[in-house]
Amino acid sequence: AFGRAAIEGQAMGKIVLASNIGGSLDNTIDGVTGKLFESNNPQSLADAPGTSPSKEAMNENISFIRGTMSRDV
């Protein structure tokens, strides 16, 4: 799966919790744009919110990433 829900959440400035498989690995930078948790591990999911970046830190990271990406295709 592509992980479109994660991208939509990030676009709305939300901290994304995503499993570490599939499209989430391509569109969620662990500790930067969200938090990845181990797939099929309920404890990993339960621990993820406490270790995710703050909203302020995430917004700074996303602003930096946007500034380094070219919109010219």
pLDDT tens, 3-22? 788 888 878 877 788 899 88
Instruction: Provide the pLDDT for residue 26.
Output: 83
Q: CA 52, 28, 68: angle at the middle one, nearest 5? A: 105
Alpha carbon 9 to its chain centroid, in Å, reads 9
Which pLDDT tens digit goes with each residue over 22-69? 888 888 888 887 889 999 998 988 888 777 667 677 667 666 666 655
Residue 71 has pLDDT above 80, yes or no: no
Instruction: Provide the pLDDT for residue 69.
Output: 55
pTM of the model: 0.65
User: Rounded to a whole number, what is the distance in angstroms from the first to the last CA of the chain?
Assistant: 24
Of the candidates 63, 4, 1, 5, the one whose C-alpha atom is nearest the C-alpha of residue 32 is 63
CA distances from 53 to 30, 40, 56, 72, 73 (A): 9, 22, 8, 30, 31
